[in-house]
Structure formats: structure tokens, C-alpha cells
Amino acid sequence: MNVVFPPDGWAVYLVFTGAIMGGAAALAGQALAANWRPAWQMVAYGLLLATADRFLVFALFGGDLVSPAGFLADAVLIEAIGLCAWRFTRARRMVTQYPWLFERAGPFGWRSRRD
């Protein structure tokens, strides 16, 4: 069996999965972090988004509906985007809500203030 990555083609993977479903994952990650929800909820929502992505790729572009490799590729990208957005928003929220305690330590982190 010849396995090609991504299974449904680069255009579908980058434009639909990356931009559209990745944008939805980024918005979900931001919303969860802004409401102080834990990261495991983003993992659950990411799996739901990957399932919806698999169905929409099947319905719109004729991809395989039941494709473990396709689902895994979609889930990895969607989860990565969602968790990065969650962590970025959480770091920004910690620094803006508690400026007397924390300062930024890169785009995804914070540290105790050194005053």
C-alpha cells in the first residue's frame, strides 16, 4: 500500500484543514484560555474539529471518510494550532490580569516579576 502524506492532497490540507479548521481551532483555544478553562478541553474540542474536518473533506472534496492517516494528520495540525492559541492567550491573560505579579517571558510564557 502506498501511503501519501497528506492523504487528500496538499491544497486541501493547507487551505481547508490548515486555514479554515485551524482558524476555528485558534478561536476555540482563545475562548477557552480567556475563560480560564484547562488545556485538556482544547484537546477534546480539537478532536471534534478533526472529526468535522474529516467529514467536510469527504463531502466537499471527495476524500476518504474513514481514513486513519487522514484523521491523524488533521488532528495533529488542528490540535497544534488550538493548543498554541490557548497557551498564547493564557500567557497574555496572566500578564495583563496580574501585572504586579508577572511579566512576559516570550510569546507563550510568563515569569514572576523581578522588582
Over residues 17-36, the pLDDT tens digits come to: 999 999 999 999 999 999 99
**Best CA proximity match to 32, nearest among 45, 14, 51, 15:** 45
Residue written as grid cell 497574555: 92
**Residue 102 falls within a domain, yes or no?**
yes
Domain of 29, in residue numbers: 10-112
Q: Is 3 within the bounds of a domain?
A: no
Per-residue model confidence as pLDDT tens digits over 27-65:
999 999 999 999 999 999 999 999 999 999 999 988 888
Task: Report how many domains make up the chain.
Answer: 1
**In this structure, is residue 2 part of a structural domain?**
no
In angstroms, the CA 79 to CA 45 distance is 9
Q: What is the pTM of this model?
A: 0.89
Q: Establish if 5 belongs to a structural domain.
A: no
Any domain includes 4: no
